[in-house]
Chains A and B, each alone.
Chain A
C-alpha cells in the first residue's frame, strides 16, 4: 500500500507530468479579441469619418472670419459628443453646415458605441466564454497548490462525505464532476480550505490533467462517480499517466473490479462486498466491528452502538439483486440459513427462495418470518425497505433488522425505525477510503485488528474511552528517527526505551499523557495495541490516538532536549545554550528511573 501523505518526497520527483503541453484551453483574451473585431472596426471607421468631416467643413470664428476646425478640436468634440457627454460647440459656435454634419455623426457614433458595448456585454454573458474563464481559473488555482492534495473524480454523496472528513483533517482536494450544481455547491459548503471544482467529464484525460493529475503534489486519485464506466476510465488514465500514485475506485460490479485490477494495483472498493464482510465480522466479533466502525468514522465521531446480530438461526432476505446475492453468500458462508423473498422468478427451483412481492401479507407468511431471527430489507427503494421492515416487525418484533439505505434524505426515517444494522453504500465507501488515506498506519491496524479477537478489541475500546472520551480524537503517525524525534536519538540508542516512559507528561512525569498507542511498526512487523512495557527502537513508526494537546506535548518531548531530559530521566536541564554550558555536569549514566505512574 503506497503511502500518499509522506510529505518528504525527493525534490526531483516534484515535477509536472504533462499529458499534452500543446493542449491548452483557449485563452479568454483571444476569444474577446476575435469577437470584438467587427465592433471595433466599425467604431474606428465612424470616428475617423466624423472627425475628418469636421476638419473639412468650413466654419467661422467669433469675428466671422472663415476658419476650419483642427484635428485636435475635432477629435475632442467628437469624443465627448459620441460618448453622449456633450460640452457644447467649441472653439467657436458652429455654422449650419457644421451642424448638419455633427447631427449625422452623432447618430452614427452612438450606434457605433452601442454596438461595441453591446457586443462586449453579450460576450461576457456567453456560455462558452464563461466556461473558458472558469476552466482557466480552475487550472491556475490547481497549478498554484503547494501542498499534497487528492483528486476527487465525482462529487456525489460519497465525495461530499469524504471531502468533509478530509477537510476536518486539514487535507486539500480538487473536485471534478459532471453536474454544475454540485460544483457550485462547493462554494456554499463550509470548508476550511478553498476547494477548486471543475464541471467536466472525468473520462477525458485532459480534464484530469487540468485537475492536477500531473501535478507534483497530487497525492492520490479517487474515482467516486456512480458510473462504473467513468470510474474505470479514471483508474486507467491515472494508472497510465502516474503509475506511482495510489488510486482508489468505487464500483458495485465484480466485472469492472476485474477490469480495473488489470491496470496497476488500484484499490477497488465495492460497498456491497464490504458490507457483507462487515456483517460477518459483526456476527463473529461485535467489539472488533465496533472498533473498526469507530476508527473509520473520522475525527469527532461518537462511539457507535454495539449491535449484536444473532449467531444462530434463520435469516430472511428481501430483494435479491447484487446486494442481496452478495449478502446471502456471506451469511451462508457463516453457516447461517437464509430464505430469500424475490419478485422475479429467475432464481429457479431453489427451495430457499420464496417467489413473490415482499410487501404482500401472504408472501411474508410463506417465508416463516415468525421463526426467523434476522431480516434484511435490501431493495434499492427506500420506501419499499421501510415498509418491509414495518411489516416484518409486525409479524416478529424480536427480529434483528438490517437494511439498505439508498438516499441520504431518508436517514431520519431509518433512524426512527431503529434499524439494527444499516448499510449506506456511500458511507461504506467513504469510510473505507478514509481509513486507507487519512493516516498511513490506520489501514494496517484495521486489517490486522480482527485477527486479535473480540476481547482484545473490547480492551482497546475501553482504553480509547478512558483516554480520549466518547468521541474519536485525532490519529497520527510518528516516526522515531532523527528528523521527527531528534531529542530521543540517544535514548533510543541506549536501549530499554519503553513506550511508557515516552508517554510521561512533560509537566509532571508521574502522570501519563492521554494518548493511546495503537500500533508500532518496525520494518514490516506490526505490534497492535502495544502496552507501556513495549520497547522502542530507532526508526519505529507509531500510530497514536489522542487529543491534539496531547499530541503537542508529545511533540515537545520528541523535539526539545530539555523536555525530553525531564520526561525520560526526571532531570531538569536549562533550555538555553549559555545556561547549559554554565551548569554542565559530568555525564551520568543515563538510566531511566523506574518509577511507576501515580
Chain B
C-alpha cells in the first residue's frame, strides 16, 4: 500500500463527495445548500488539482484536465454566490441560488469523470 495513492484517492473522492453534497437538494432553495460545503469543495478541489500536477502519462493529463474544469466551475459558482450576497440588490434569491448550484453541478460532472478515471486506473493496475 502506498501512502501517496491513499492521499491521492482520498482527495479525488472527497472533492467529488463534497461537490455532490452541495449540489443535492432543490436547485433554487438556499436553505438546502450550505456555503461551508461549497467552500470545502473549492479547497479540496484545488488540492486535488495540485496533487495531479506533473504527471506526464496520458491518463494523468486527462486527470489534470478534469480537475481544472471542476475548479473553473466551482470558482465560477463561488463568484456567482459572492455577487449575489455582496453586490446584487436582490440578495441570495432563488434565481441566484439556481445559478450557483447549476455551476457546481457542472463541476460535479467533471468530478465524476475524475472518479471514473481513478477507478479505471485502479482496475487496470497490475501487480507483478
Contacts and interface: CB of A to CB of B under 8 A. Distances in A.
Instruction: State yes or no: do A and B come from one complex.
Output: yes
Nearest to A70: B85
Given A52-B39, A71-B39, A72-B86, A37 B46 contact: no
A34 B39 contact: no
Interface string B42-65: 010011001101101000000000
Contacts of B93: none
B35 interface: yes
Contacts of A36: 50, 53
A52 B35 CA distance: 11
Contacts of B39: 48, 51-52, 55, 71
A114 interface: no
B54 A44 contact: no
A362 B51 CA distance: 81
Interface in A67-83: 70-72
A48 B11 CA distance: 15
B43 A44 contact: yes
B82 interface: yes
A41 B47 contact: yes
A131 interface: no
A33 interface: yes
Nearest to B35: A71
A35 to B, nearest CB: 8
Contacts of B51: 37, 41
A471 B36 CA distance: 84
A52 B56 CA distance: 34
A40 B85 contact: no
Contacts of B53: 33-34, 36-37, 40
A45 interface: yes
B33 to A, nearest CB: 13
Contacts of A72: 82, 85-86
A41 B35 contact: no
Contacts of B54: 30-31, 33-35, 37
Given A51-B39, A52-B39, A72-B85, A37 B47 contact: no
B35 A40 contact: no
B56 A37 contact: no
Interface in A22-45: 30-31, 33-37, 40-41, 44-45
Interface in A507-521: none
A70 B56 CA distance: 39
SS class of chain A's interface: helix, strand, loop or mixed? helix
Contacts of B86: 70, 72
A24 to B, nearest CB: 10
Interface in A137-192: none
A36 B46 CA distance: 13
A48 B85 contact: no
Interface residues of B, number: 14
B22 to A, nearest CB: 13
A36 B49 CA distance: 12
A40 B56 contact: no
B35 A44 contact: no
Interface string A47-90: 11001100100000000000000111000000000000000000
B43 A30 contact: no
A33 B53 CA distance: 5
Given A33-B54, A34-B54, A37-B53, A45 B82 contact: no
Contacts of A40: 50, 53
A70 B47 CA distance: 22
Contacts of B47: 41, 44-45
B50 A48 contact: no
B64 to A, nearest CB: 9
Contacts of A70: 85-86
Contacts of B36: 52, 55
A29 to B, nearest CB: 9
A12 B89 CA distance: 67
Interface string B13-33: 000000000000000000000
Nearest to A52: B39
Nearest to B78: A71
A108 to B, nearest CB: 15
Given A30-B56, A48-B43, A52-B39, A41 B50 contact: yes
Interface in B86-119: 86
A34 B82 CA distance: 32
A34 B54 CA distance: 4
Interface in B63-86: 82, 85-86
B50 to A, nearest CB: 5
B85 A37 contact: no
B116 to A, nearest CB: 23
Contacts of B46: 44
A47 B54 CA distance: 23
A572 B127 CA distance: 89
Contact of B50 (A44, A51, A52, A55): A44
A51 B38 CA distance: 13
A28 to B, nearest CB: 12
Of the listed residues B35, B46, B50, the one surrounded by the most CB atoms of chain A closer than 10 A to its CB is: B50
A176 to B, nearest CB: 27
Nearest to A40: B50
Contacts of B50: 36-37, 40-41, 44
A44 B39 CA distance: 12
Contacts of A35: 54
Nearest to A43: B50
Nearest to A27: B56
A51 B40 CA distance: 11
Contacts of A31: 54
Interface string A523-567: 000000000000000000000000000000000000000000000
A44 B54 CA distance: 18
Nearest to A56: B36
A44 B36 CA distance: 16
In the complex, the 10 A-B pairs of residues with the closest C-beta atoms, listed nearest first:
A34-B54, A33-B53, A48-B43, A33-B54, A40-B50, A72-B82, A44-B46, A37-B53, A41-B50, A72-B86
Given A48-B39, A48-B43, 13 more contacts: A30-B54, A33-B54, A36-B50, A37-B50, A37-B53, A37-B54, A44-B46, A45-B47, A55-B39, A70-B86, A71-B39, A72-B82, A72-B86
22 contacts: A30-B56, A33-B53, A33-B54, A36-B50, A36-B53, A37-B51, A37-B53, A41-B47, A41-B51, A44-B43, A44-B46, A44-B47, A45-B47, A47-B43, A48-B39, A48-B43, A51-B39, A52-B39, A55-B39, A70-B85, A72-B85, A72-B86
